[in-house]
Amino acid sequence: MAAPEMQISECAVLTAAGNSMDTLTEAIGRPLGSRAPLELGAIPDPEVYEEVPGRVAAVPDFRIEDYVPRRGTRSLDRMTRLGIAASVLLRRQMEERRDITADSWHETGISLGTSAGSLRSNVDLTLDVIRGHGADLINPKVFPNSTMNCCASQVAIWNDFHGPNATVANGTISALSALRYASRLMSLGHCSRMLVGSVEELSPQRAWGTRLSGRIDSEVVIGESATLFSLEPAGASPSPVATVTGCEVAFCPISADGARSEALRRVVDRVCSQPEDVDLVVPGATGTVWQFSEERSLEHVTGRRLDVRRSVGDCGAGTSGVQVAAALGCAGPGDHVLLTSMDESGVVAAAMLQMCPS
C-alpha cells in the first residue's frame, strides 16, 4: 500500500530577519552581513561576543512574554523560548484560518530537529559543577535545559500536546530528518498532525565553535532560528501550502568531496524523478566548505537557486528548517521545490515539495 500524501498547512519562523514569514521572504537575496548593526537588532549579552571573529545576529527584540504569560518562563533557556514562541505563532496562524478543537490539539505530536540541544546550557551547567557548586547545589529548575529533548518537551507542555514527541539530532539536516520521521509516524497511524521543524540558539559557545571549525565562510553571519510547520495528511487542511512528495536521508562514511557529492546526487534522484521540472532549488551548503560538493550533485537540476545562509546567517541545525520556510514563502503556486542539505558527519538529505494552487 502506498504511503498517504502529507501536506504542510502552515509555517512559523523566527530568524535574525524577524519573526514572520514576510520578514524572511523580504530578507532573501539580501546578505545579512551587508546590513548595518542597527538593522539587526540588539544581541543578548553582547559583551560575550566581543572577541568572536565575524558578526553574529539574533532574533530582533525577542521576548518570550510576547508569546506566553511570563509566569513559569524564568528558568527556560533561549533555545526553549524560541521553540515555544514558534509553536505559539504557528497555533495562532492555524486558528485564524480554521476551527481546530482542543482534542485535535491534544493529539498533535512534535518532531523537532537540533544539533545537541542547548550547547550553552550544557556548558554553563558543567562549569557550575567544576567551579565548586557541586552537583548537589545545582538549581534543579535549570537542569532540564541541559537535556537534548528539553525544547520539544516544553513545546508540548506549554501547548498541551499529547501526541508523539521526538527530538532528532542530525546536524544541519535535522529539520529534513525530522520531516521524514514525522511522515513515517503519521503514515503508521500514530497521530494525525505533527509540528515539524528545528531550533538553534545563538550562543558564544556555538559562535566560537563554528568559527574555529572553519566550515563556514568568514563573511557569513552566525545567527539563530526557530522554525515549525504543521504536517497533516492530504485533505486534512482546507488550505494546504505544499505537498511533500519525497524526503530521503542517507549517510556517506567517506569524507572525500566526490563521495559526498555522489551520495547527495543519489538521494536527490530518489526524491526528484524529473530534475528538468524543478522550479526552485534551496541548497543548504551555500557559504560552507561543502558548497562545491553540493553544487556538483545538483548540476542536472534546473530551477533558480535560493541562498538562505547568506540571507539569515548560519543557523546550525536550524538552517534546514529555515530552508523549508524560505521555500514556502518564495515559491509560486504549483512550483516544484527541491531542498538539499549536507552535514559534516556525512549525512545528506533531500526533500521535494509541490506548492499547492493559491
Per-residue confidence at 31, pLDDT binned at 50, 70, 90?
Answer: confident
The residue assigned the cell 520578514 is 23
Using CA atoms, how far apart are residues 262 and 37, in angstroms rounded to an integer? 40
How many helices (H) and strands (E) the chain has is answered by: 12, 10
CATH number for the domain formed by residue range(s) 6-233: 3.40.47.10
- Long-range pairs for 41-45: beta carbons < 8 A, 24 or more residues apart: 41/16, 43/202, 44/78, 44/202, 45/204
Question: What is the Cα 228 distance to its own chain's centre?
Answer: 7
Quote the crossing angle between the two packed helices 119-128 and 204-213, to the nearest 10°.
110
Cell numbers linked to 199: 531550533
Torsion angle of the four alpha carbons 333, 82, 248, 301, in this order, in degrees rounded to the nearest 10: 50
Q: So where are the chain's domains?
A: 6-233, 242-355
What's the CA dihedral at 332, 333, 338, 341 to 10 degrees? 60
In this structure, is the dihedral angle defined by the CA atoms of residues 289, 292, 293 and 295, taken in order, positive or negative?
positive
Spatial neighbors of 136 by CB under 8 A, at least 6 apart, are: none
What is the pLDDT at residue 117? 83
User: For residue 283, which amino acid is it?
Assistant: P
- Tens of pLDDT along 236-254? 888 999 999 999 999 988 7
242-355, CATH topology level: Peroxisomal Thiolase; Chain A, domain 1 (3.40.47)
Strand 109-114: give its sheet, edge to edge.
165-169, 109-114, 194-200, 225-233, 6-14, 242-251, 347-355, 336-342, 280-283, 304-305
Q: Evaluate whether 6-233 and 242-355 have a shared fold.
A: yes
pLDDT, average across residues 193-197? 97
Name the residue among 200, 197, 228, 188 with its Cα closest to residue 309: 200
State percent of the chain over pLDDT 70: 95
Reply yes or no on whether the pLDDT at 327 is more than 60. yes
Mean pLDDT, the chain, integer: 91
Question: Smallest Cα–Cα separation from 173: which of 155, 198, 149?
Answer: 198
Q: Is 60 exceeded by the pLDDT of residue 297?
A: yes
